[in-house]
Structures are given as C-alpha cells and as structure tokens.
Amino acid sequence: MRAKRFQRAFFNALLAAALASLVLAAFSDAQKWISTASVLFGLAGIVQLDISGLFEHWLERYGDEEKYPSGPPSHITRQIIAIDDPDTPMRSWLRNIAFTDKRTGFYLIILGGALQLFSIWT
C-alpha cells in the first residue's frame, strides 16, 4: 500500500507540474514550457497506467493463473471497496478516473505526444 501511496503522490505532482507548465507557457517562452508539459503528461500517463494495474495485468496474463483460485486476496478487495464510497460520489468518480481507469493513462500519453508535436511546429 505504501508504494501505491507514493505512486499516487508522484502522479499528482507530475500532473500539477504539467498543468503549471501549460500556464507558464502563456507568460513566457511557450515552446519550452509546452514541451515540458508534454513530457510531464507522458510521464504521468505511464505512472497512471502502473497505478491502474495495466502492468500487473500483463504479468498476470503470463504468470501463474492458479495462484488465487478463490479470487483476489482480502487486502486487494478492501482497496477496491475503499475506492467506491457512495457517500462521496464526486471524489469516488475522480479517484476512479485517476487511479483505476486504464484509458486515462493512454489519454495522457496521447496528450503528451500531441503537445510535443504542437511545440515543435509552433
């Protein structure tokens, strides 16, 4: 759990730095700040894919599938339940998008690549 907490903090820091770089692009050397933002969005995408479990999914596919015949261990189940809190639907929605949806990382990588292309040609 400690590694996930560090990864989430690192993801949030990368995302904040990328957004700050886009804001700074409006006030100074746009090309450099947009290039910086694109790299940071790409890194955030990779970290998000790791948080969401894409890499574990690949390892499971080629690993021992008979290890957990009764489903995931209880500590994994508790993490899944903790994410979906019906008392805080907006926070649950944001957490699900940021930390469990594999498409979010993909979109961040696409955004990073698009920003890199934009910064090269402007």
Contact between residue 105 and residue 97 where contact means Cβ atoms under 8 Å apart: no
Contact between residue 38 and residue 115 where contact means Cβ atoms under 8 Å apart: yes
Range of the domain at 94: 2-121
Gap between the Cα atoms of 40 and 111, Å rounded = 10
Check residue 25 and give its pLDDT. 92
Gap between the Cα atoms of 58 and 70, Å rounded = 20
Angle at alpha carbon of residue 52, lines to 47 and 56, rounded to 5°: 95
Helices 30-52 and 2-25: crossing angle in degrees, nearest 10, is 160
Contact between residue 49 and residue 107 where contact means Cβ atoms under 8 Å apart: no
Check residue 17 and give its pLDDT. 92
**How many structural domains does the chain have?**
1
pLDDT tens, N- to C-terminus, the chain (122 residues)? 566 788 888 889 989 999 999 999 999 888 888 888 988 898 888 888 888 877 676 556 544 556 655 555 565 555 555 556 666 778 777 777 777 776 787 788 888 888 887 887 67
